[in-house]
């Protein structure tokens, strides 16, 4: 109390009594750096801008003193609100993915609060910064809405708008502003980098020209591969990720059997897809006919921001958080391998015993047989794609105690290191299998990559793939279009696309099966 009185008395001696003149006097003293501690404290207590600025400049960035000063200044200064927002943004971006969710939310709340304050005070830079935050969060509509506040787009804002157009599938914006994009992005290195990506993935190329260029760039390679895949993605970052996946795939066991075309951009507006984190990606595949002209591969893959990876006939669906092991696993399905983990109850391969072999590694067969052992062995082996790899000395039928000439299908554990016929988990969820007396069987007793991604892909399966020579390949993606057309009652179109799919078949039996739509 005594100290405060002295400060006030000392100030009253040296400055006018009017608060207006006092404020101007203190500001002048501080700006000229001739103030004393008492004057500074008094000025801070009365939210003097010069005093707060001095403290903000001298305090350690991020300290409680710095934050106090910046928050006070940000009430009336766009610059200070913007720089405070950027500081909170940096803190948010540096948070570990393991950071408590409440901490992350609070950090996000604060950066948003101060950037919005800066926007209210007229900061165009804050508009761009907040738009970028929304973009990184996947809130594309909000990010786009932010940018509409700007009368003119800075280069940074313009680049962000281009990225938003790509991710939103707004190809009309890209084509309409193609000359501006070319001109403005060449001005800086970061702009040139984005422009290079737009050309690499043919985002700036009109669809007709794209068809010609892409087909010319991928011709001779296909002949040396068992299958070929064109990967599409709907976002710029996913196109880069697709490139990374293809590079990583080159080191995987199935690499010699697959050729990849250069990833291409596909507007999300050209497809209607249902995507949920815990459900398989599902698209209206009739829409794929609009893409056919730019594809020169048997199969296509689509990389989306989220959803469950799966293969449906000739189309592979993948999410951006799926890694190379998931990608490799899904490609194996295109090549004709079936899952060895428990599939859904109503999966078509588990509804009944197989009429004919359908995969390299799985056979769905009766669990018990009646007759002579040798005759039954020959009958069963005809249904098993890996029969040639089973030694004559390896049993595949076991006696059932108390039952004469009744046999249980399966190789005994004593021969678990041999190629045989072993129960697979594929159809364990199938009620039809339990009641119908059938189950899924596999060639190896070992747990493989077809059951757990982190496990190895057996050499045996690679031998089967080579020796079966494309026998169990999924039909081309044109078959998917035919299937979708048929389901929509467009029979004429369905037959047309079946004919297109059949062109990819060299085996007469497979060709007939495709034309009949019986896959």
CA dist 327 and 348 (Å) reads: 22
CA dist 287 and 169 (Å) reads: 15
Is 13 part of any domain?
no
Is 93:75 a contact under the CB 8 Å cutoff?
no
Is 215 part of any domain?
yes
Cα torsion for 415, 416, 418, 424, to the nearest 10°? 130
Q: Which residues of 349-368 are buried (b: 16+ CB within 10 A; e: fewer)?
A: bbbebeeebbbbbbbbbebe
- Residues 96, 148: one domain? yes
Is 11 part of any domain?
no
Between 45 and 400, the more confident residue is: 400
Which of 202-206, 317-321, 427-431 has the largest mean confidence?
A: 317-321
Q: Provide CB contacts within 8 A for 337, sequence distance 6+.
A: 359, 360, 361, 362, 450, 461, 465, 472
Structural domain containing residue 491: 480-515
pLDDT digits 0-9 by tens, 6-57: 444 444 444 444 455 666 766 666 666 767 776 666 666 667 666 677 677 7
CA dist 331 and 348 (Å) reads: 19
For residue 407, the surrounding DSSP H or E stretch is strand 403-409
- Residues 247, 395: one domain? no
What CATH number corresponds to the domain at position 278?
3.40.50
CA dist 389 and 429 (Å) reads: 29
- Residues 323, 354: one domain? no
pLDDT digits 0-9 by tens, 448-503: 999 998 899 999 999 999 998 889 999 999 999 999 999 999 999 999 999 999 99
CA dist 272 and 304 (Å) reads: 12
Residue 20: its pLDDT value, please?
53
Confidence band for 145, pLDDT divided at 50, 70 and 90: very high
Is 474 part of any domain?
no
Question: What's the whole-model pTM score?
Answer: 0.87
- Residues 135, 193: one domain? yes
Q: Calculate the alpha carbon distances from 185 to 190, 460, 513 in Å.
A: 8, 52, 51
CA dist 259 and 278 (Å) reads: 30
The counts of H helices and E strands in the chain are 22, 14
Computed over its alpha carbons, how large is the radius of gyration of the chain? 34
- Residues 60, 191: one domain? yes
Is 359:427 a contact under the CB 8 Å cutoff?
no
pLDDT digits 0-9 by tens, 372-382: 999 999 999 99
pLDDT at 180 over 80: yes
Confidence band for 3, pLDDT divided at 50, 70 and 90: very low
Q: Which of 170, 200, 230 is the last residue of a domain?
A: 200
Q: Provide CB contacts within 8 A for 224, sequence distance 6+.
A: 259
Count other C-beta atoms under 10 Å from residue 322's C-beta. 21
Q: Calculate the alpha carbon distances from 404 to 298, 365, 408 in Å.
A: 51, 21, 12
- Residues 387, 411: one domain? yes
Q: What is the mean pLDDT of the chain?
A: 89
CA dist 218 and 225 (Å) reads: 12
pLDDT digits 0-9 by tens, 294-327: 999 999 999 999 999 999 999 999 999 999 999 9
Is 495:483 a contact under the CB 8 Å cutoff?
no
Closest CA to 255 of 328, 345, 159, 340: 328
Is 82:129 a contact under the CB 8 Å cutoff?
yes
pLDDT digits 0-9 by tens, 46-98: 676 666 776 777 889 989 888 988 898 899 999 999 999 999 999 998 886 77
- Residues 270, 313: one domain? yes
- Residues 296, 383: one domain? no
Q: Provide CB contacts within 8 A for 9, sequence distance 6+.
A: none
- Residues 145, 230: one domain? no
Is 10 part of any domain?
no
Is 194 part of any domain?
yes
For residue 302, the surrounding DSSP H or E stretch is strand 299-304
Residue 208: its pLDDT value, please?
45
- Residues 176, 29: one domain? yes
Q: Calculate the alpha carbon distances from 414 to 95, 220, 411 in Å.
A: 53, 48, 8
Residue 402: its pLDDT value, please?
80
Is 340 part of any domain?
no
Is 513:356 a contact under the CB 8 Å cutoff?
no
CA dist 386 and 337 (Å) reads: 12
CA dist 29 and 205 (Å) reads: 62
312, β-bridge pairs: 315
Q: Provide CB contacts within 8 A for 381, sequence distance 6+.
A: 387, 390, 396
Residue 39: its pLDDT value, please?
66
Q: How many CA atoms lie within 13 A of 143 on its CB side?
A: 22
145, β-bridge pairs: none
* Percent of residues, the chain, with pLDDT higher than 90: 73
Q: Calculate the alpha carbon distances from 94 to 115, 127, 475 in Å.
A: 18, 21, 47
How many domains, in total, are found in the chain?
4
Q: Which residues of 112-144 are buried (b: 16+ CB within 10 A; e: fewer)?
A: bebbbbbbebebbbbbbbbbbbbbeeeebeebb
Phi first, then psi: what are they for 93, rounded to 5°? -70, -25
- Residues 363, 302: one domain? no
Mean pLDDT is lowest, of 90-104, 383-397, 498-512, for 90-104
Strand 438-442 relative to strand 264-265, pairing: unpaired
Confidence band for 345, pLDDT divided at 50, 70 and 90: confident
CA dist 417 and 290 (Å) reads: 50
- Residues 435, 490: one domain? no
Is 341 part of any domain?
no
Is 232:223 a contact under the CB 8 Å cutoff?
no
366, β-bridge pairs: 438
CA dist 130 and 88 (Å) reads: 12
CA dist 464 and 388 (Å) reads: 10
CA dist 246 and 240 (Å) reads: 10
Strand 273-276 relative to strand 279-283, pairing: antiparallel
Is 243:263 a contact under the CB 8 Å cutoff?
yes
């Amino acid at each position: 109390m005594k100290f405060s009185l002295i400060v006030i008395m000392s100030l009253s001696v040296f400055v006018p009594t009017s608060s207006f003149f006092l404020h101007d006097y203190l500001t002048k003293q501080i700006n000229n750096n001739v103030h004393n501690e008492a004057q500074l404290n008094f000025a801070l207590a009365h939210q003097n801008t010069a005093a707060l600025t001095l403290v903000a400049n001298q305090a350690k960035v991020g300290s409680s003193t710095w934050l106090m000063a910046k928050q006070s200044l940000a009430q009336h200064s766009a610059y200070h609100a913007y720089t405070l927002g950027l500081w909170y943004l940096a803190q948010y971006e540096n948070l570990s993915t393991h950071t408590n969710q409440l901490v992350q939310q609070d950090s996000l709340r604060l950066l948003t609060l101060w950037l919005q304050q800066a926007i209210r005070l007229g900061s165009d830079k804050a508009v761009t910064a907040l738009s970028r935050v929304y973009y990184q969060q996947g809130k594309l509509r909000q990010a786009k809405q932010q940018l509409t506040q700007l009368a003119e787009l800075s280069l940074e804002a313009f680049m962000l708008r281009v990225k938003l157009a790509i991710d939103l599938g707004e190809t009309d914006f890209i084509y309409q502003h193609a000359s501006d994009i070319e001109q403005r992005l060449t001005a800086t290195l970061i702009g040139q980098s984005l422009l290079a990506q737009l050309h690499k993935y043919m985002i700036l190329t009109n669809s007709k020209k794209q068809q010609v260029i892409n087909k010319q760039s991928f011709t001779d390679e296909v002949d040396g591969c068992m299958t070929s895949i064109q990967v599409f993605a709907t976002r710029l970052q996913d196109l880069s990720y697709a490139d990374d996946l293809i590079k990583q795939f080159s080191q995987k066991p199935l690499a010699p059997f697959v050729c990849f075309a250069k990833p291409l951009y596909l507007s999300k507006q050209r497809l209607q897809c249902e995507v949920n984190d815990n459900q398989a990606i599902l698209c209206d595949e009739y829409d794929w006919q609009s893409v056919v002209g730019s594809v020169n591969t048997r199969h296509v893959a689509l990389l989306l921001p989220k959803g469950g990876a799966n293969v449906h006939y000739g189309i592979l669906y993948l999410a951006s958080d799926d890694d190379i092991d998931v990608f490799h696993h899904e490609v194996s399905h295109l090549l004709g391998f079936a899952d060895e983990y428990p599939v859904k109850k109503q999966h078509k391969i588990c509804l009944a015993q197989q009429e004919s072999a359908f995969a390299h590694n799985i056979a769905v067969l009766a669990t018990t047989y009646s007759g002579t052992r040798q005759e039954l062995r020959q009958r069963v082996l005809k249904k098993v794609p890996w029969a040639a790899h089973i030694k004559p000395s390896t049993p595949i039928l076991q006696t059932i105690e108390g039952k004469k000439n009744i046999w249980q299908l399966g190789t005994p554990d004593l021969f678990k290191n041999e190629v045989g016929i072993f129960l697979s988990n594929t159809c364990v969820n199938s009620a039809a299998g339990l009641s119908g007396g059938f189950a899924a069987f596999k060639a190896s007793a070992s747990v493989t990559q077809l059951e757990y991604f982190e496990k190895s892909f057996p050499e045996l399966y690679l031998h089967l793939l080579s020796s079966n020579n494309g026998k169990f390949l999924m039909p081309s993606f044109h078959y998917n279009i035919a299937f979708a057309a048929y389901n929509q009652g467009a029979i004429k179109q369905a037959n047309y696309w079946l004919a297109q799919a059949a062109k990819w078949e060299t085996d007469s039996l497979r060709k007939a099966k495709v034309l009949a739509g019986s896959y």
